[in-house]
Chains A and B, each alone.
Chain A
Amino acid sequence: MTINQLSIFLENRSGTLTKVLDIFKENNIQIIASTIADTAEYGILRIICSDPQKAYSELEKGGIAVALSDVFAIELDNKPGQAADTIKLFSNKDISIIYMYSFLFHGKGILVFRTDNTDEAREVILKSKLHSVTGKELADWE
């Protein structure tokens, strides 16, 4: 139901992002989605990629502050209103979204997010029969 996401601590300094991206390049890992939570002093780069385990160990070897976490990745139909209806399922249960971003995968919108209550969020997803994208699907990104 969840997929692996990499979070990377980056200082606001030129060159820090390049160093990270080079590690993906050298290891032939495809970045499928990315977003940066930016602050005045640093950013947190979040990445969904084709091989998160390998990326994690290579980044760690490179001395990068990196964390591997599980996030929900829900597949939506390409119709207006889908995101609103989906998120409402969670807010109806008083579950908050901590952060969210989206990407297109094989023509479908994928909503990536983390909530403040993972267990209850799982239940919502099961009951509502939401479709999650899997790590295996992402690994076969081509």
Chain B
Amino acid sequence: MIWNPNKECMSRDEMSSLQGKRLHKIVEYVYHNVPFYRNKLQEMDITPDDIQTIEDIVKLPFTTKKDLRDNYPFKLQAAPQSQIIRIHASSGTTGNPTIVGYTRKDIGVWSECMARCLTAYGIGRDDIFSVSYGYGLFTGGLGAHNGVEMVGAAVVPASTGNTEKHAKLIRDLGITGIACTPSYALYLAETMDRLGITKDDIKLKVGAFGAEPWTESMRKEIQERLGLKGYNLYGLSEIMGPSVSYECMMQNGSHINEDHFYPEIINPVTEETLPYGQSGELVFTTLTKEGMPLLRYRTRDLCSLMDGRCECGRTSVRMSAITGRSDDMLIIRGINVFPSQVESVVLSMKEFAPRYLLIVDRINNLDTLQIQVELRQEYFTATFDTPAAIDELQKRLAAKLRSVLSIGVNVQLKAPNSIERSQGKSVHVIDNRKLV
């Protein structure tokens, strides 16, 4: 099934012409409403009239996560505050979160895009669908929620946590679809095993998995254990949230809602645009966004694009699975974590040396984050020589990290000078998760 064949199956020429018109409009819009973009365009001697077709996009400047940080909280917002009806926030690189405001129209576009995803997965009005992304500042929960309501299925806003209750609801309500991180799906399968709920007891048929990288072997395992078919759901809050792209029944790449989010692949070093098929950094331009439109936003996600009509009937450009990042961002339990966030917390506490190590692992299918910090020699004093005092310090650091990162961490205190120094660029992250 296709939610909006008019857009999802548009001919290439029609799509390009629509994108060109929308690009001109959005450039004109940010030129007049966002001083940051006006200054950038003026510096490059570009006016909105120079942008007429989608090919002109290469003339435009890039936008980076740093630009979002520098313009915290509202300086990239193009719509007046009275038009904003929702604000989400995601992790920033150093303390300040990224703030994204949505107008009523933005929420409508988001719901439409999400409805396209769910329809492609085979979800319709007869389904009962559980949204198990976190509800809150994170875009996953509410973003998926709106789409489920739009297609007319019954949404169960399960959010995360309380997995035992959720497992029982899946069985008792006959829930047919679920949106969550792939690692949460595996955790759910384990919880069901423990409760003695088998896949014959449940009716799940669709899983919409995203917010963290996953692999074909994870897909296979989730499908076998929960008896459903798992589909990729891609998105990022800077651009919209979940629904930027989605897999169809063919599962050969994820269709991008390119009438709203124009994709490019660039060489992350030279910033030159790469042709279809070549791997590089994914860049998005929001073509219709009112709240916080972004020109050529560098996602730092590495993948490739493929064109051509898909066997499902859709004509939209597809993106491959994400193969990595061009920065040091980690995705842990669906939450973006930057080592620099950890650094800012460690530096703020005088008891620790400015050295730290993040050790990421996946234990029983759940991501874990351990942070090793070094005790400063001069802070190990006579008043500090009991496990009670050290525990207190450890807990204080863990609480600070938790509030900055939005995920729980395990803090390990190391002796002075015990975290390995490396030659040249220091290593701050060891990721032991096996994603192949």
A interface residues, Cβ below 8 angstroms from B: 7, 9-11, 16, 37, 39, 41-42, 44, 46, 60, 63-70, 98-99
Whether A60 contacts B413 by the Cβ 8 Å rule is no
B382 touches A10 (CB 8 A): no
- Residue picked from B381, B385, B414, B415, most chain A C-beta under 10 Å: B385
Which residues from chain A contact B364 at a C-beta distance below 8 Å?
none
Q: Give the residues in chain B near A67, CB-CB below 8 Å.
A: 380-382, 384-385
Given that A9-B380, A69-B382, A70-B382 are known contacts, is A64 also in contact with B416, CB under 8 Å in the complex?
yes
Query: Roughly how many angstroms separate A125 CA and B115 CA in the complex, as a whole number?
Result: 79
Residues in A neighbouring B403, C-beta threshold 8 A: none
Are A63 and B390 also in contact (CB < 8 A) when A7-B382, A41-B412, A68-B382 are? Answer: no
Partner of A69, one of B375, B385, B418: B385
Please report whether the interface of chain B is mostly helix, strand, loop or mixed according to DSSP.
Answer: mixed
Q: How far is the CB of B71 from chain A (nearest CB, A)?
A: 42
CB proximity to A under 8 Å, residues B387-403? 387, 390-391
- Which chain B residues lie closer than 8 Å to A66 at the CB level? 377, 380
> Would you list 23 pairs from A and B whose C-beta atoms are within 8 A, ordered by A residue?
A7-B385, A9-B375, A9-B415, A16-B415, A37-B386, A39-B390, A39-B391, A41-B412, A41-B413, A42-B413, A42-B415, A46-B385, A63-B377, A63-B416, A63-B417, A64-B416, A65-B375, A65-B377, A65-B415, A66-B380, A67-B380, A67-B381, A69-B385
Contact check, B382 vs A11: say whether CB atoms are below 8 A apart: no
Question: A residues within 8 A CB of B380?
Answer: 7, 9, 65-67
Contact check, B415 vs A64: say whether CB atoms are below 8 A apart. Answer: yes
Closest Cβ neighbor of A59 among chain B residues: B377
List residues of B (43-77) whose CB comes within 8 Å of A's CBs. none
- State whether B386 touches A11 (Cβ < 8 A): no
CA distance A98 to B384 in the complex (A): 12
Which chain B residue lies CB-closest to A11? B415
Other A-B contacts than A37-B387, A64-B416, 5 sampled, CB-CB below 8 A, are A9-B415, A39-B390, A64-B415, A69-B385, A99-B386
Partner of B418, one of A11, A39, A68, A70: A11
List the A residue with the shortest CB-CB distance to B384.
Answer: A67
Contact B385 A44 (CB under 8 A): yes
Choose among A16, A39, A70 the residue that contacts B387 (Cβ–Cβ < 8 A).
A39
A63–B417 alpha-carbon span in the complex (Å) = 7
Q: Which 5 residue pairs across A and B have the least CB separation, nearest first?
A: A7-B385, A69-B382, A65-B380, A63-B417, A67-B382
Query: Which residues B150-206 have CB closer than 8 A to chain A?
Result: none
The docked-state distance in angstroms from the alpha carbon of A129 to that of B285 is 83
Q: CA A81 – CA B155 in complex, angstroms? A: 71
Q: Write the nearest CB–CB distance from B78 to chain A, whole angstroms.
A: 50
Chain A hits for B391, CB < 8 A = 39
